[in-house]
């Protein structure tokens, strides 16, 4: 098989099986993607494409396979979110301050993927330091969603964020799969906006070592893929204990693909009443009800549950995340990494570097974070937010007494235009209303494309599971996917 459109339409699992059957080579597959990346460069999904490296890696992969030595991701060309440090390849985190920063080390997760045989197509675009829900805060320009609204008059739409480049690449067929990171929804929301599967595993499942830190108690890496099986395969390759990350958890990585039995009979699915928000489009609510019916038809039991502290999740997140960010970003001072803008003395150099190097949203977060951590406000904001975070985690803990998983919408809207929320940070933060609670509680949560809105734009449903319940989440997600039978392909796919 050599037709390039056919190659680009393969899922990761299908490509793996054809590679194993020697029907295609990694070089052929990789070349098809390199060509697609060039043809669809206007999506701006990549900050740094690495075609030469990709070809070298693909050749090496084909050679390994010929020797009978093939890993779980052998020969599969993927996008790597630019938040992962990659040895010898510029890693910017979407920020001007890290422009030109070329790490001398490899993040654990990207290293795991290369060890499993994956091929790197390039570093994908993202919101600056992963702060955003639209990919509009990247220093390297907006990313376009490959989907267009039927009534939108060709107005470009955001792919969601912060992993917008990865989402656009996978949806637009510029990568077979990609990595994302999720602090408050950055894997799940862009997956929902672009009609792909995004899985944030349990906090501690994937190592954070070598990932540029945003909010360390929330950040988690996860796969962004075309379907649930691909998510299972890729998570298996990414996950694992890492002694270099003290919050990574020492438990064996299960065979996630084997969890996709299609059988959820007797599984209890919780439907939390607090996730019904005023003003959300009727289509979102309708899809949620449809999702409940699909799972019921597959033999699950539906349970009404309550997560009473849900309404505090967003304000809590927007205190905790900026607080940690302000501290994590203190290291960008013009001395050690990337950009330096000179001044009349050392303090002046710090100020100039940070003023020029950080974009507006990042500066806003550093200001908010510094404020909530300052003497006099620490107790009123940060400490209180920490306490509420505990209550939110406890809500979930109690819910697991009566259900095995929780079903909710992923986001309160479909993809929006570049200008729609750009001047209103609060409207932007509201995007995260359904994704942030699971992040605060450290729980695994997946977004599955489940339907289209009236404009033909993708909508996602979210399944949240108990800590280390990835197999259950994937199993139910597989059932949801089969029932939804989502087949829409974007207008701007390569």
Q: Applying CB under 6 A, which part among 23-31, 180-188, 233-241, 269-277 lies near ligand GLN?
A: 180-188
Is 231 a residue of the active site? no
Among residue numbers 229 through 268, which ones bind ligand GLN (CB under 6 A)?
Answer: none
Of 164 and 270, which CB lies nearer to ligand GLN in the complex structure?
Answer: 164
Residue in 162, 171, 413, 439 annotated catalytic: 162
Of 131 and 307, which CB lies nearer to ligand GLN in the complex structure?
Answer: 131
Nearest-approach distance from CB 92 to ligand GLN, in angstroms: 15
Largest CA distance in the chain: 70
Task: Give the number of residues in contact with ligand GLN, rule: CB under 6 A.
Answer: 13
By CB under 6 A, is residue 432 in contact with ligand GLN?
Answer: yes
Nearest-approach distance from CB 47 to ligand GLN, in angstroms: 16
Structure token digits, residue 247: 């919050």
Of 61 and 447, which CB lies nearer to ligand GLN in the complex structure?
Answer: 447
Nearest-approach distance from CB 196 to ligand GLN, in angstroms: 16
Taking the C-alpha atoms of residue 79 and residue 83, their distance in angstroms, rounded to an integer, is 12
Of 193 and 350, which CB lies nearer to ligand GLN in the complex structure?
Answer: 193
Task: Please give the torsion angle defined by the CA atoms of residues 32, 179, 443 and 107, in that order, rounded to the nearest 10 degrees.
Answer: 150
| 85-89 CB contacts, 8 Å cutoff, 24+ apart | 85/110, 85/210, 85/211, 85/212, 86/110, 86/120, 86/123, 89/48, 89/50, 89/53, 89/120, 89/123
Of 131 and 388, which CB lies nearer to ligand GLN in the complex structure?
Answer: 131
Nearest-approach distance from CB 134 to ligand GLN, in angstroms: 8
Q: Which of 137, 101, 180 is nearest to 363 (CA)?
A: 137
Residue in 163, 186, 207, 326 annotated catalytic: 186
Of 96 and 421, which CB lies nearer to ligand GLN in the complex structure?
Answer: 421
By CB under 6 A, is residue 184 in contact with ligand GLN?
Answer: yes
Residue 2 backbone zone (phi > 0: left; psi -120 to 50: alpha; other: beta): alpha
By CB under 6 A, is residue 185 in contact with ligand GLN?
Answer: yes
Is 162 a residue of the active site? yes
Q: Applying CB under 6 A, which part among 178-186, 227-235, 241-249, 271-279 lies near ligand GLN?
A: 178-186
Among residue numbers 124 through 163, which ones bind ligand GLN (CB under 6 A)?
Answer: 130-133, 162
Nearest-approach distance from CB 349 to ligand GLN, in angstroms: 29
Check the CA dihedral 115-119-122-123 and report its sign. negative
DSSP characters over 66-134: HTT---TTTT-EEEEETTB-BTTB---TT-GGGTT---SS--HHHHHHHHTT-EEEEEEP-SGGG--SS
Is 81 a residue of the active site? yes
By CB under 6 A, is residue 182 in contact with ligand GLN?
Answer: yes
By CB under 6 A, is residue 321 in contact with ligand GLN?
Answer: yes
Of 237 and 411, which CB lies nearer to ligand GLN in the complex structure?
Answer: 411
Give the number of other CB atoms < 10 A from CB of residue 281. 15
CA dist 103 → 64, 84, 98, 336 (Å): 27, 10, 10, 12
State in Å, rounded, how far the first CA of the chain is from the last one: 18
List 110, 112, 144, 186, residue binding ligand GLN (CB under 6 A): 186
- Omega within 30 of 0 (cis) for the link into 162: yes
Residue in 61, 81, 91, 95 annotated catalytic: 81
CA dist 482 → 12, 418, 486 (Å): 17, 32, 8
Query: Which residues are part of the catalytic machinery?
Result: 81, 162, 186
Binding residues (CB under 6 A) for ligand GLN: these are: 130-133, 162, 182-186, 214, 321, 432
């Amino acid at each position: 098989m050599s037709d390039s459109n056919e190659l680009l339409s393969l899922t990761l699992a299908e490509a793996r099986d054809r590679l194993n059957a020697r029907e295609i080579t990694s070089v052929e597959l990789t070349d098809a993607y390199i060509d697609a990346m060039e043809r669809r460069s206007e999506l701006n999904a990549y900050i740094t494409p690495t075609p030469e490296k990709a070809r070298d890696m693909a050749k090496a992969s084909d050679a390994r396979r010929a020797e009978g030595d093939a890993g779980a991701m052998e020969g599969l060309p993927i996008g790597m979110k630019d938040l992962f440090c990659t040895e010898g390849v510029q890693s910017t985190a979407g920020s001007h301050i890290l422009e030109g920063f070329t790490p001398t080390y490899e993040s654990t997760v990207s290293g795991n993927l290369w060890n499993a045989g994956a091929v790197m197509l390039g570093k994908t675009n993202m919101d600056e330091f992963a702060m955003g829900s639209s990919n509009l805060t990247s220093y390297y320009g907006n990313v376009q969603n490959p989907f267009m609204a039927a009534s939108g008059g060709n107005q470009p739409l955001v792919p969601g964020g912060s992993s917008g480049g990865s989402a656009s690449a996978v949806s637009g067929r510029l990568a077979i799969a990609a990595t994302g990171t999720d602090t408050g929804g950055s894997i799940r929301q862009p997956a929902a906006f672009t009609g792909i599967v995004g899985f944030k595993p349990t906090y501690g499942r994937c190592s954070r070592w070598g990932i540029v830190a945003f909010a360390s108690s929330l950040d988690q890496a996860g796969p962004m893929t075309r379907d649930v099986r691909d998510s299972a395969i890729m998570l298996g390759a990414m996950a694992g204990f890492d002694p270099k990350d003290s919050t990574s958890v020492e438990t064996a990585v299960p065979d996630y693909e084997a969890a996709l039995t299609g059988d959820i009979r007797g599984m209890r699915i919780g439907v939390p009443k607090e996730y019904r928000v005023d003003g959300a489009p009727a289509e979102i609510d309708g899809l949620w009800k449809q999702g409940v019916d699909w799972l019921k038809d597959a033999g699950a039991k539906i349970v009404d549950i309550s997560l009473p502290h849900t309404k505090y999740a967003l304000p809590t997140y927007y205190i905790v995340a900026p607080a940690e960010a302000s501290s994590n970003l203190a290291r960008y001072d013009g001395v050690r990494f990337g950009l330096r803008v000179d001044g009349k003395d050392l303090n002046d150099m710090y100020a100039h570097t940070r003023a020029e190097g950080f974009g507006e949203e990042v500066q806003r977060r550093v200001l908010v974070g510094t404020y909530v951590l300052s003497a006099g406000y620490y107790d009123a904001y940060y400490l209180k937010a920490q306490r509420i975070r505990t209550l939110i985690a406890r809500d979930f803990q109690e819910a697991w007494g009566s259900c095995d998983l929780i079903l909710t919408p992923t986001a309160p809207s479909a993809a929006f235009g570049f200008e729609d929320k750009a001047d209103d940070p609060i409207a932007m933060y509201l995007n995260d209303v359904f994704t942030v609670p699971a992040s605060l509680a450290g729980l695994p949560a997946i977004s599955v494309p489940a339907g289209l809105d009236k404009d033909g734009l993708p909508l996602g449903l979210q399944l949240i599971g108990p800590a280390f319940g990835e197999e259950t989440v994937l199993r139910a997600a597989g059932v949801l996917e089969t029932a939804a039978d989502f087949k829409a392909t974007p207008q701007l796919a390569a």
